[in-house]
Amino acid sequence: MREYDEPREEQIHPEVFLGHNGIPADARRLGFDRNTEEGAMIAMAGSLDPRRRMHRVVAWVLLLAFVLPLLLGVTRQLF
């Protein structure tokens, strides 16, 4: 490289500065990322740390939010 040449710019990929996104590899292969509705839910759930009490509470609330409508629908069909 001569002194009058400009240095080549290094290409920066989004993964470098976004950090761990919490989305598993199989979900990424399906096309989910933080910008899709389902991918945002997967990323949020994947970023929860089971060692922290508040994260466990959030995980239980998410579980209830998804299971409760299912249980109510099943009981409505049965009774």
* Residue 63: pLDDT over 90: yes
Model confidence at 28, in pLDDT bands (50, 70, 90)? confident
**Spatial distance between the Cα atoms of 40 and 34, rounded to a whole number of angstroms:** 5
**Spatial distance between the Cα atoms of 22 and 42, rounded to a whole number of angstroms:** 7
User: Which pLDDT score, from 0 to 100, does residue 23 have?
Assistant: 82
* Residue 34: pLDDT over 60: yes
Residue 72 CA, chain-centre distance (Å), reads 27
Mean pLDDT to the nearest integer, 53-78: 96
**What integer best gives the mean pLDDT of the chain?**
83
**The tokens 């049965």 sit on which residue?**
78
Percent of the chain with pLDDT over 90: 37
